[in-house]
Amino acid sequence: MARPVSVYVCQSCGAQTRQFFGRCSSCGDWNSLVEQKAASTDRRRGGVGAEKGAVPTARRSAPMSSLGEKPLQRLASGYIEFDRVLGGGLVPGSLVLVGGDPGIGKSTLLLQSATAMATDHSVLYVSAEESAQQVKLRWQRLQGLESDLQLLAETDLDLVLQELEALRPAVAIIDSIQALHDDNLSSAPGSVAQVRECAAALQRLAKRQGTALVLVGHVTKEGVLAGPKVLEHLVDAVLTFEGDRFASYRLLRAVKNRFGATHELGVFEMQGKGLVEVGNPSELFLSGESASGVASIVACEGTRSLVVDLQALVSITSYASPRRTATGIGTNRLHQILAVLEKHMGLPLSRYDCYLAVAGGLDVEEPAADLGVAAAVVSSFRDLTLPTGTVLIGELGLGGQLRPVGQLAQRLQEAVRLGFHRAVVPRGSGSGLGALEQGLELQLLEAGSVTEALVLALGVDPAEDQN
């Protein structure tokens, strides 16, 4: 059988060539040629059940009301935190892409989940990076259940597709998509053409036979998923596994999900026998001690509220321009809050270094943390301690005003559950809580500006000279 011919197509002008060049001869763009399969008379990919020259049977349209009479049942992953991020479990026929830094625990998480699911469903684990013996060593260390997990150590795409069609598992895990290769393409595994063709072939098979497919993806040195952007468009959900590989806690986030909410958060802890779910993650992000420069906020990650400690350190600078360092919060956001404090409260922060960190390594992006950041900075600057049991919620405007935030009732309920009894919120927020306010057992302190809010929180006017 003759080897299929591949062509190189310019992504800028569409010109084709049989040979790879660094520069397109038609439009002159550099590094724009991408390998693709040449068009052939075959309408179906070769493999199990495919015949040369076979033409697929056309499907007829159907009324929307007649579809979905039997709803799809989600498959539980074996972990509540994993199911939370997925939106309730794996959907049959869906593709889920899990990415993360090397050594963060992607393979550990999926191997544990596959072992748990294999007790009730047929599960195939395809290891394209490790041998079967290596995977078994990890499985023996991690597994706590007896299950019929199937393992295939293979990198050839055609052989993987044949096994998937022969076994027809309910769930299949590919570790990783960058390690698979299609012999019909001459490029190396992990290239744009290889990842695109392998993912497309796996998608067609998963949709046809209803297999829930989980793909492990590598990340680049910039921290984004490697491979073509079409890979993220192709899959139904994109999950990222984050955390410091030298620390024990891991965060699983959903940045795309066609079957559930995005920006959900699952928390795991890496232990000697693998990853363990953390049922109350707010305890990870609270120091439990009162000190200057520490303020508590409530951050919302999808449907989950987390009480988090913010830590700030303000000290006189020894450089011509002060240093600004933020961990877990955008540096531009910190610069904006410092400018508001200096403009509307008269604090000479431009002559001081400022360091800000979110406890536990969590990334907080929402503006509801602005008031907590301002309180932590002012607390450190004036060497004042916020009263125990106080939480601060509010967005800070450029005019120094406090703006309302969403999901306030959910945030306050989480604060009460963890023992907080005072909350500083934007003015007008209490009227929107209605009867819920009576059952919260929480003192609401409403403020219209950042100065008023900090006076209520600290008990003194931070704008006055304390010396």
Q: What is the CATH number of the domain that holds 357?
A: 3.30.230.10
- Gap between the Cα atoms of 66 and 69, Å rounded: 7
According to the model, what pLDDT value does residue 38 have?
67
Same domain, residue pair 210 and 294? no
Residue 327: inside a domain: yes
Please enumerate in sequence order all residues whose Cβ is within 8 A of that of 453, keeping only pairs 6 or more positions apart, or say none. 371, 374, 375, 392, 394, 402, 424, 445, 447
Residue 64 lies in a domain: no
275 and 312, same domain (yes or no): no
Residue 181, exposed/middle/buried by CB under 10 A (0-12, 13-18, 19+)?
buried
> Which of the listed residues 254, 279, 304 is the one where a domain comes to its end?
279
Residue 72, H or E segment:
none
pTM across the whole model? 0.74
Residue 345 Ramachandran class (φ > 0 left, ψ -120 to 50 alpha, else beta): alpha
Count of positions (residues) in the chain? 467
**pLDDT score for 41:** 43
Does residue 60 belong to any structural domain of this protein?
Answer: no
Q: Which of 231, 235, 285 is nearest to 93 (CA)?
A: 235
CB atoms closer than 10 angstroms to residue 102: 8
Burial status of residue 63 (CB atoms within 10 A of its CB: 0-12, 13-18, 19 or more): exposed
Residue 266 domain boundaries: 74-279
Claim to verify: residue 215 and residue 168 sit in the same structural domain? yes
31 in any annotated domain: yes
Measured CA to CA, the distance from residue 283 to residue 276 in angstroms comes to 15
156 and 302 both lie in a single domain? no
Can you read off the two tokens belonging to residue 133?
Answer: 């013996």
- Same domain as 189, residue 115: yes
Residue 48 lies in a domain: no
Of 262, 279, 296, the residue at which a domain comes to its end is 279
- Domain co-membership, 232 together with 369: no
Task: Identify whether 326 is part of a domain.
Answer: yes
| Residues in the chain with pLDDT values less than 70 | 1-5, 38-59, 67-71, 143-145, 245-246, 288, 430-440, 463, 465-467
DSSP assignment of 449-462 equals BHHHHHHHHHSS-T
Into how many domains does the chain fold?
Answer: 3
Residue 245 confidence (pLDDT): 63
Same domain membership, residue 293 and residue 271: no
Tell me if 124 sits within 8 A of 164, measured CB to CB. yes
Whole-angstrom Cα distance, residue 297 to residue 275? 27
Which of 107, 120, 174 lies closest to 147, judged by CA?
A: 120
Number of CB atoms found within 10 A of residue 273's CB: 11
Question: How far is residue 188 from each of residues 3, 260, 408, measured CA to CA in Å?
Answer: 16, 35, 51
The answer to whether residue 59 is domain-embedded is no
Model confidence over 229-240: pLDDT tens digits? 888 899 999 999
DSSP per position, 148-175 = --EEEE--BHHHHHHHHHHH--SEEEEE
Q: Is there a single domain that holds both residue 253 and residue 288?
A: no
Q: Smallest Cα–Cα separation from 342: which of 451, 459, 458, 460?
A: 451
Q: Are residues 29 and 136 in the same domain?
A: no
Same domain? For 449 and 310 the reply is yes
Question: What pLDDT is recorded for position 82?
Answer: 94
Cα angle 69, 74, 75; round to 5: 140
Is residue 68 included in any domain, yes or no? no
Q: What integer pLDDT is reported at residue 349 of this predicted model?
A: 92
**Rounded to the nearest 5°, which phi and psi values hold at 443?**
-85, 115
Q: How far apart are CA 213 and CA 92, in angstroms?
A: 8
Q: Which residues pair with 37 in a beta bridge?
A: 6
- For the record, the structure tokens of 100 come out as 């993360």
The verdict on 191 and 251 lying in the same domain is yes
Q: Are residues 263 and 309 in the same domain?
A: no
d(CA 379, CA 313): 9
